[in-house]
Amino acid sequence: ARAQAMEVDESPDVTYDEIGGLEDQMQEVREAVEQPLENPEQFEQVGIEPPSGVLLHGPPGTGKTMLAKAVANQTDATFIKMAGSELVQKFIGEGAKLVRDLFELASQREPAIVFIDEIDAVASKRTDSKTSGDAEVQRTMMQLLSEMDGFEDRGDIRIMAATNRFDMLDRAILRPGRFDRLIEVPEPDEEARHKILDIHTRNMGVADDVDFDKLAAETEGKSGADIESLTTEAGMFAIRDERTEVRQSDFEDALEKMDENDEETGIVTK
């Protein structure tokens, strides 16, 4: 049913080497998600349970979805994504049913990585739990937690979630046996921005005058997603000028355009 609310990717093509920076985060994801899928006996021998759920938190566009897709790629797992906002439904019981469908699908396609983006949509601290809408959201969250509880019997399914509103999360979902591994995915620093610029210009014609050190410094406050748009925009400037190589001036023009857009929309690029 309702499979259209889910994004199913049998073999996501994102690899770890396409992720700039985030070395520690990659290491943690591999330990918490990849190891239990590939060497479950290691956990048995040591006598510990692998983390039940991994929560990635940090600003938008910093690579959280990429990390989840890369681990699915590495483990040959099906990637099943659902947005938390999709789980907030009008009719009673519909959100909970979607959660059941999600895990049902995962068990048909294991090994699988279930990735719930914007988990805050169903797991926020309640300001007023008396309204019926909130009660319904609460029920959906309870269904999610109960599916996670039934996990050990489920075999090769790992669950990941992401949020950029960590502060708003209901702490109940972070208890042991739930999302018990937290990984912070920060805005990229200068070194990470340099790597992200390198990654997104790998397949571009780049002129000799392009100064990636300077661009890394100038993109302070920009996310990985912003840097990706920047390289595309710089390429557009080159095309407009009928060139096949992107120059430093194209990047500078693209940066200027981006900042102007941010001013107009009042949205600060983060």
| Contacting positions for ligand ATP (CB under 6 A) | 19-22, 60-66, 117, 162, 164, 196, 199, 224-225, 228
Q: Is 177 annotated as a binding residue?
A: no
Residue 57 annotated as lining a ligand binding site:
no
The terminus-to-terminus CA distance of the chain in angstroms comes to 37
Of 159 and 199, which has the nearer Cβ to ligand ATP? 199
Residue closer to ligand ATP (CB basis): 162 or 173: 162
Q: Binding site annotation covers 65?
A: yes
For residue 150, give both structure tokens: 């039934």
59 versus 177: smaller Cβ distance to ligand ATP? 59
Is residue 236 packed enough to be buried (19+ CB in 10 Å), middle (13-18) or exposed (0-12)?
middle
Contact 29, 67 (CB under 8 A): yes
CB of 118 to ligand ATP, least distance (A): 7
User: Minimum CB separation from ligand ATP for residue 33, in Å?
Assistant: 15
Q: If you search the block for the tokens 């169903």, which residue do you land on?
A: 122
Q: How far is the CB of 226 from ligand ATP (least distance, A)?
A: 8
> Which CB atom, from 136 or from 224, has the smaller least distance to ligand ATP?
224
Q: How far is the CB of 128 from ligand ATP (least distance, A)?
A: 26
Smallest distance, Å, CB 139 to ligand ATP?
A: 25
34 vs 117, beta carbon nearer ligand ATP: 117
Q: Contact, 192 vs 212, CB < 8 A?
A: no
**Residue with smallest beta-carbon separation from ligand ATP:** 224
Cα–Cα distance measured from residue 53 to residue 198, given in angstroms and rounded to the nearest whole number? 32
Is residue 221 part of an annotated ligand binding site?
no
Tell whether residue 75 is among the known ligand binding residues.
no
* Cβ density class 184-221: b for 16+ within 10 Å, e for less: ebebbeeebbbbbbebbbeeeebeeebebeebbeebee
Structure tokens at 78: 């099906």
Report the binding-site residues for ATP.
Answer: 61-66, 200
